[in-house]
Chains A and B, each alone.
Chain A
Amino acid sequence: MPGEDSAKPRMTIPTQLVLRALLANPTHEMYGLQICAEAGLPTGTIHPILARLENEYGWLTSRWEDVKPEEAGRPRRRYYQLTEDGAERARIALAQASTSLTTLGLRPRPAGGMA
């Protein structure tokens, strides 16, 4: 349905990989490099996807890590998490798009390490 399609992002393969990474543990907040590693995408490539999911579709929320850089000795991270509604919509959208990945023989890379 056109209405439903316009309410979900274009399910490119990187978008699917990011959503799968976030859905692996939807109650867990993740920062950018963690998402890249979980999704198996090169670092520095996911911000357009995250911005779209957060800003345009409202599937994601983000917040600054609750640390003082001076005390932690490092910059604070930006943490992302799917909203409850966003997680549900993401599951549906992924189910609809699942053929894209399987048809191409692609699977999300296992978690761990930084791409």
Chain B
Amino acid sequence: MRASLRHIGRTRIKDLNEASDVVSELTSALGHARDRDPALAYAHTLVSDLNFDLGLDIALYRSRVLTSALNNSGFIRTADVDLACALVRFLERTVRRQHGAAWGTPVAGRLAVAAAQLLPAADRARYAEEYQSELWDLAQAGAGRIRQLRHVLRQLASGILTRRALRSPRRRSAVL
């Protein structure tokens, strides 16, 4: 069924069984490609450890970082990126139903991934994970939707400066 939906270009996952199928499919797809690209090797680690029994919050966090890692790679099929995005949307819906705004809101979570995409390719996965972790901490501290959005918008706004800092010659002081 997912195969037919994929023709529309926007896969929709309806339940945990379908989500598990997607995880297996991605694990297999990335397993074949991971030797070609470090970003895919990282993505493969993330998706291999994606286990819904251990908490949907963590599965959501991993799937968001996963989409960021996939976006870094030129070796991945569009259909697989679509599957990863569908997984994020499904988990966001499910987690929101379970916890309300107790975890990073969907918009803030996606913007955090977008903020990481502004950075050099080698640093995106790290910052996507760090930004997700900060959203989680903010949400646990009681920050509502607006405060989370404000936080992520500031990260987006400072993305160019972060990018510039990350592209500067490394360890400049060491040679002076």
Interface residues of B (CB under 8 A from A): 49, 51, 54-55, 57-58, 61-62, 126-127, 129-130, 132-134, 136-138, 140-141, 143, 150-155, 158, 161-162, 164-166, 168-174, 176
Interface of B is mostly: helix
- Report yes or no: B130 in contact with A43, Cβ–Cβ below 8 A: no
Q: Which residues of A contact B (CB under 8 A)?
A: 3, 6-8, 31-33, 42-45, 47-48, 51-52, 55-59, 69-71, 73-78, 89, 114
Top 6 closest A-B pairs, CB basis?
A: A44-B154, A48-B161, A51-B165, A75-B133, A52-B165, A70-B54
18 pairs, A vs B, C-beta closer than 8 Å: A7-B176, A33-B134, A33-B137, A33-B138, A42-B154, A44-B153, A47-B158, A55-B165, A55-B170, A55-B171, A56-B165, A56-B170, A57-B173, A59-B173, A69-B62, A76-B133, A77-B137, A78-B133
The answer for the CA separation of A82 and B58 in the assembled complex, in Å, is 30
Which of chain A's residues have a CB closer than 8 A to the CB of B133?
Answer: 31, 74-78
Which residues of the other chain, A, contact B168 by a CB distance below 8 angstroms? 52, 55-56
**Cross-chain contact A70 with B49 (CB below 8 angstroms):** yes
Q: Do A51 and B57 contact each other (CB < 8 Å), given the known contacts A45-B158, A75-B133, A75-B136?
A: no
Q: How far is the CB of A102 from chain B (nearest CB, A)?
A: 26
